[in-house]
């Protein structure tokens, strides 16, 4: 399910968040599917359950999971997390554009780069 890279400089919980996000977005985990318990996933990955809890909390905050008291964590419907992805991408684009402009890159060059990337992704 999840492979962790202990040489990665990012914290373990961030790696878990990233892997679970990818599983949810790709359909590997479907809406309303019950997530493994914090304890069982911690044992499976050989990490502290607090690390799993932190990852689940972040995923819930981002709209990927929801909690049912006494029953556990579940994958949220796509409509709940799709808007979060759009917001994240928009914010990253705004930041990248701002940084490029501060670096002196002309607006026309940014537009051409965006068109090139878009065309590459379509193929």
Between residues 31 and 85, the one the model is more confident about: 31
Q: Which residues form the domain of 97?
A: 80-122
Structure-token pair, residue 79 = 């409509």
- What average pLDDT score do residues 82-110 get? 84
Residues 62, 86: one domain?
A: no
Answer for the pair 84, 63: CB distance below 8 angstroms, yes or no: yes
Query: Does residue 39 fall inside a structural domain?
Result: yes
Question: How many residues appear in the chain?
Answer: 123
Residues 48, 86: one domain?
A: no
pLDDT at residue 110 in the model: 82
Q: What is the pTM of this model?
A: 0.72
| pLDDT range class, residue 69, cuts 50, 70, 90 | very high
Residues 71, 85: one domain?
A: no
| pLDDT range class, residue 118, cuts 50, 70, 90 | confident
DSSP state for residue 6 in the 8-state scheme? T
The total of structural domains in the chain comes to 2
pLDDT at residue 70 in the model: 94
User: Could you give the CA distance from residue 9 to residue 67 in angstroms, rounded to a whole number?
Assistant: 29
DSSP secondary structure letters along 32-86: TPBPPPHHHHHHHHTS-HHHHHHHHHHHHHTTSEEEETTTEEEEPPHHHHHHHHH
- What average pLDDT score do residues 78-104 get? 85
Query: What is the percentage of the chain residues whose pLDDT exceeds 90?
Result: 63
Chain-centroid distance of CA 5 in Å reads 16
Residues 71, 84: one domain?
A: no
């Amino acid at each position: 399910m999840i492979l962790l890279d202990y040489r990665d400089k990012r914290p373990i919980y961030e790696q878990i968040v990233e892997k679970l996000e990818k599983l949810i977005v790709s359909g590997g985990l479907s809406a309303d599917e019950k997530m493994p318990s914090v304890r069982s996933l911690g044992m499976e990955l050989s990490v502290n359950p607090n690390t799993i809890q932190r990852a689940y909390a972040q995923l819930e905050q981002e709209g990927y999971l929801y909690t049912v008291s006494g029953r556990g964590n579940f994958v949220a419907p796509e409509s709940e997390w799709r808007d979060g992805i759009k917001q994240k991408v928009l914010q990253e684009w705004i930041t990248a554009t701002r940084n490029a402009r501060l670096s002196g890159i002309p607006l026309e060059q940014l537009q051409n780069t965006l068109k090139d990337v878009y065309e590459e992704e379509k193929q």
